[in-house]
Structure 1
Amino acid sequence: MRLLIVDDHTMVLDLMSALFASEKDIDVSTAATYESALKTIETNNPFDLILLDFSMPGLVGLEGVSTVLKQARGCPVALMSGVANRDVAKLALEAGAVGFIPKTMQAKSLINAVRFMASGEVYVPNDFMNAPIDERREHPLARNLSEREYQVLKGLCKGLANKEIARDLELQEVTIKLHMKNLCRKIGANNRTHAAMIARDAGLF
Structure 2
Amino acid sequence: MRVLVIDDHTMVLDMISSLLANETDMDVAVATDFPTALELLNTGRPYDLTLLDFSMPGMVGLEGLAAAINVSQGKPVAIMSGVASKETAVEAINAGAAGFVPKTMHAKSLVSAVRFMASGEIFLPTAFMETTGEKAEIHPIIKDFTQREREVLEGVCRGLSNKEIARELDLREVTIKLHMKNLSRKIGANNRTHAAMIARNAGLFTP
TM-score in terms of structure 2 length = 0.63
DSSP-derived class of the 2:29 partner: strand
| Distance in 1, Cα, partners of 2:133 & 2:85 | 9
| Distance in 1, Cα, partners of 2:121 & 2:59 | 25
The letter of the residue matching 1:88 is T
Cα distance per residue 1:66-114 (max 9 Å; x no partner): 1111111311000000011111111111111110000000100000000
- Give how far 1:134 is off: 4.6
Cα distance per residue 1:121-170 (max 9 Å; x no partner): 110110111226259xxxxxxxxxxxxxxxxxxxxxxxxxxxxxxxxxxx
Indicate the residue corresponding to 1:3 in structure 2. Answer: 3
> Residue 17 of structure 2 contacts residue 28 of structure 2 at CA under 8 Å; is this kept in 1?
yes
Q: Runs of 5+ in structure 1 lacking a partner?
A: 136-205
DSSP-derived class of the 1:127 partner: helix
| Distance in 2, Cα, partners of 1:117 & 1:134 | 26
> Residue 45 of structure 1 contacts residue 72 of structure 1 at CA under 8 Å; is this kept in 2?
no
The letter of the residue matching 2:116 is F
Cα distance change on mapping 1:132 and 1:38 into 2, 3 Å: closer
Which deviates further from its counterpart, 123-132 or 22-31?
Answer: 123-132
- Computing the radius of gyration from Cα coordinates, the structure with the larger value is 1
The letter of the residue matching 1:73 is Q
User: When the two structures are aligned, how many residues end up with a matched partner?
Assistant: 135
Indicate the residue corresponding to 1:38 in structure 2. Answer: 38
TM-score in terms of structure 1 length = 0.63
DSSP-derived class of the 2:43 partner: helix
Indicate the residue corresponding to 2:151 in structure 1. Answer: none
**In percent, how many aligned pairs have the same letter?**
55
| Distance in 2, Cα, partners of 1:98 & 1:86 | 15
Cα distance change on mapping 1:131 and 1:95 into 2, 3 Å: same
The letter of the residue matching 2:99 is G
The letter of the residue matching 1:111 is V
| Distance in 1, Cα, partners of 2:90 & 2:71 | 21
The letter of the residue matching 1:80 is M
> Residue 49 of structure 1 contacts residue 117 of structure 1 at CA under 8 Å; is this kept in 2?
yes
DSSP-derived class of the 1:80 partner: strand
| Distance in 1, Cα, partners of 2:37 & 2:60 | 14
| Distance in 2, Cα, partners of 1:51 & 1:30 | 10
Indicate the residue corresponding to 2:129 in structure 1. Answer: 129
Q: Runs of 5+ in structure 2 lacking a partner?
A: 136-207
Structure 2 residue 115 is the aligned partner of structure 1 residue 115: yes
> Residue 41 of structure 1 contacts residue 71 of structure 1 at CA under 8 Å; is this kept in 2?
yes
| Distance in 2, Cα, partners of 1:105 & 1:45 | 29
Paired residues for 1:12-31 under 5 Å: 12-31=12-31
Indicate the residue corresponding to 1:104 in structure 2. Answer: 104
